[in-house]
């Protein structure tokens, strides 16, 4: 009789352990889909600010194009041996450089180099970064230097009044002029030079990253937005007017 009582107690304990084990499994399975989706996004992009807000500066939409235009040209802050070991071609590389302090632009070497008054130390060395772009970089850093973006597809692409002076020139300045100034073999500083690039330099093919052409901007991870490409096409199809 004593044997059976001891056996029953052991079975009861085993059954209790079994129930605990099952409960733990259920808890794990019920929680595994609650991990924020942003952890699985490419480059761990922060999607909390979505869609676009005028109060927020977005790295993917606004900051990376500035770096691609003004800082990642030949022998600058890209490639296997970037200047001062600062690679500005991606968020991961920027943060890995250790030259940027989130929430504190005044302690960020990247920002201090941009506003340096000494022309020998100021970056970029061959072009003055427009003040509005400097302000964007400062605000982005002070907001936490997040790898964030907003979805432009949520905002309609306004193509109602595409002109060279107000539309095409702005696209060129924001995305191309940092490299394609008058010191470069293909300059885009004037209307006639932009028109020549379309007619004789395959501009349409290179901005679309078509196979067989040297892509521009020269980074496979960065391309003009569909909206900007659509505006350029409208202008080209209209005969490239100087309006």
- Record the pTM: 0.59
> In the prediction, which pLDDT does 26 show?
43
The yes-or-no verdict on residue 142 having pLDDT over 90 is yes
The separation between the first and the last C-alpha atoms of the chain, rounded to the nearest angstrom, is 104
Mean pLDDT of the residues in the chain: 77
**Which single residue is written with the structure tokens 């079975």?**
11
The yes-or-no verdict on residue 184 having pLDDT over 90 is no
> What are the extents of the domains in the chain?
44-142, 157-237
Q: Contact, 65 vs 175, CB < 8 A?
A: yes
> In the prediction, which pLDDT does 154 show?
54
> In the prediction, which pLDDT does 73 show?
60
Token pair listed for 228 = 């900007």
> In the prediction, which pLDDT does 103 show?
96
Under the banding of pLDDT at 50, 70 and 90, the label for residue 139 is very high
What is d(CA 79, CA 46) in angstroms, rounded to the nearest whole number? 26
> In the prediction, which pLDDT does 185 show?
85
> In the prediction, which pLDDT does 39 show?
27
Phi-psi region of 75 (alpha: psi -120 to 50; beta: other; left: phi over 0): left
What is d(CA 243, CA 241) in angstroms, rounded to the nearest whole number? 5
SS3 for 139? helix
Range of weakest confidence among 35-44, 79-88, 142-151 = 35-44
| Mean pLDDT of the 180-186 span | 79
The yes-or-no verdict on residue 1 having pLDDT over 60 is no
| Mean pLDDT of the 219-238 span | 85
| Mean pLDDT of the 159-186 span | 86
Percentage of the chain beyond pLDDT 70 is 69
Q: Tell me phi and psi for residue 6, to 5 degrees.
A: -65, -40
């Amino acid at each position: 009789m004593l044997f059976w009582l001891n056996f029953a107690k052991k079975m009861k304990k085993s059954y209790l352990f079994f129930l605990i084990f099952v409960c733990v499994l259920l808890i794990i399975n019920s929680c595994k889909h609650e991990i924020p989706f942003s952890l699985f996004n490419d480059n761990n992009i922060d999607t909390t600010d979505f869609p676009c807000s005028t109060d927020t500066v977005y790295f993917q939409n606004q900051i990376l194009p500035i770096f691609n235009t003004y800082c990642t040209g030949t022998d600058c802050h890209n490639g296997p041996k970037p200047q001062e070991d600062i690679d500005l071609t991606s968020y991961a590389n920027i943060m890995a450089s250790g030259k940027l302090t989130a929430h504190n632009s005044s302690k960020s070497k990247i920002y201090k180099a941009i506003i340096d008054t000494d022309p020998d130390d100021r970056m970029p060395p061959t072009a003055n970064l427009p003040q509005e772009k400097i302000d964007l970089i400062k605000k982005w850093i002070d907001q936490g230097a997040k790898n964030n973006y907003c979805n432009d597809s949520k905002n309609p692409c306004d193509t109602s009044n595409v002109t060279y002076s107000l539309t095409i020139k702005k696209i060129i300045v924001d995305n191309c002029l940092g490299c394609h100034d008058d010191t470069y073999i293909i300059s885009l500083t004037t209307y006639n030079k932009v028109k020549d690039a379309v007619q004789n330099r395959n501009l349409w093919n290179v901005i679309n990253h078509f196979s067989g052409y040297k892509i521009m901007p020269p980074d496979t991870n960065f391309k003009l937005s569909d909206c900007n490409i659509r505006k350029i096409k409208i202008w080209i199809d209209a005969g490239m007017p100087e309006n």
